[in-house]
Amino acid sequence: FFKQKTAYEIASCLVGSEMCIRDSLDKIDIMTKKALKISKVKLKDIDAVAATAGPGLIVCLSVGLNFAKALSLSLKKPFIAVNHLEGHALSPKLNFNIKYPYLLFLISGGHTQYLTVKKLGDYKRLGTTIDDALGEAFDKTAKLLNLGYPGGPKIEELASNGDENRFVLPKPILNRGGCNLSFAGLKTAILRLKEFIKTEKDKNDLAASFQKTVLDILNKKTKKAIEQYLELYPKNRTLVVAGGVAANKQIRIILKKLCQDEKFKIYFPDLKLCTDNAAMIALAGLERYKKKKFDKHNFEANPRWQLDNKAKFLKGAGVKI
Ligand code: KG4
Ligand code: ZN
């Protein structure tokens, strides 16, 4: 298990990935066998079994979770329930040696949050989106432009050929609400502009203007989050950016620049480890294993499992920030 690479490969079979539910339950069995073969490890040599238990769609979570529980019971080895977001939070540790505490900016298809990571399992949310997640905003914009899913990489590509100053889009709650964020207004503005988008150039310009607006929002809000983080941890100037949207090159560039100005170290996961992957779940499992943080076999899938369970729910109409 401590041969990390091997552990990640094995865990790739055990995670409740959407692929499993789509391609039928049988697949997880085949994947397990394949991972064991590739990593040249026998089932009996596994020290623990980790699987994602939330957040996410219950049907997808249940496949991997039930399989992992059964495997752990039959092997008589500890079972570890992993929070998918903890996987993202730790993902750059697959490539870098990062010390706690750090400021985490989690930007995925379902979540957009600034959190302090004091140590493994100890998270405090500083800010969150009050409506759409950032990846969702990329995806919805792409959908309006008929670009297909996932939208992020396509918007990024079009934006590189567009005029970012052509369309002026809103930046909701830019100057209030601390480091909370909002992206729903952007989508509405783009919906209104849709009738004027006729040519390839129009599409490129809109994608570039959208991305530029996002960059401005992230620059300002990350600065705010850094301020709040430093009040708690003035000595550890480290920012970790994780989740699917962290693959965006322009976002990487502006956050690197901001961190240079703020004298912060910045870490991103490898590009292929930004979007959902089993390696990050295995790493979270491994860190928990080292601390003997095991779970019972009646641990249920939790579709809304948050990293900071004390944080207030901040979504929807009427939310006060
Ligand atoms: O972390 P992830 O794989 O899944 C969730 O846990 O949500 O993130 C997927 C999201 C999608 O919304 C996708 O459009 C976005 O990450 N994404 C990007 C890029 N690559 C993926 N967004 C912007 N730029 C990219 N290059
Ligand atoms: Zn994810």
Q: What pLDDT is stored for residue 29 in this prediction?
A: 87
Question: Nearest CA to 116 among 128, 106, 129, 102?
Answer: 102
Q: Which of 108, 112, 306 gets mutated to test ligand 1 (max ligand atoms within 8 A of its CB)?
A: 108
| Residue 302 CA from chain centroid, whole number | 17
Query: Which atom of ligand 1 has the smallest separation from the CA of 243?
Result: 1
Burial status of residue 149 (CB atoms within 10 A of its CB: 0-12, 13-18, 19 or more) = exposed
Q: Which ligand is nearest to the CA of 109?
A: 1
Q: Whose CA is nearest to atom 23 of ligand 1?
A: 152
Q: Which residue has the higher pLDDT, 31 or 204?
A: 204
Separation of alpha carbons 150 and 171, rounded Å:
23
Backbone angle region of 14, left / alpha / beta, with phi > 0 → left and psi within -120 to 50 → alpha: alpha
Q: Which residue has the higher pLDDT, 319 or 215?
A: 215
* Res. 13: pLDDT tops 50: no
Sequence-distant (≥ 6) Cβ neighbours of residue 236 within 8 angstroms: 99, 100, 101, 102
* Residue 19 banded pLDDT, cuts 50, 70, 90: low
Helices (H) and strands (E) in the chain, counts: 11, 7
Whole-number Å distance, alpha carbon 107 to ligand 2 midpoint, is 9
Give Dmax (Cα) for the chain: 62
pTM score > 0.75 for this model?
A: yes
Q: Which of 275, 281, 305, 306 gets mutated to test ligand 1 (max ligand atoms within 8 A of its CB)?
A: 275
The total number of residues shown for the chain amounts to 321
Give me the phi and psi of 258, to 5 degrees please. Answer: -60, -45
What's the average model confidence in pLDDT over 205-214? 98
Whole-number Å distance, alpha carbon 151 to ligand 2 midpoint, is 15
Q: Which ligand is nearest to the CA of 108?
A: 1
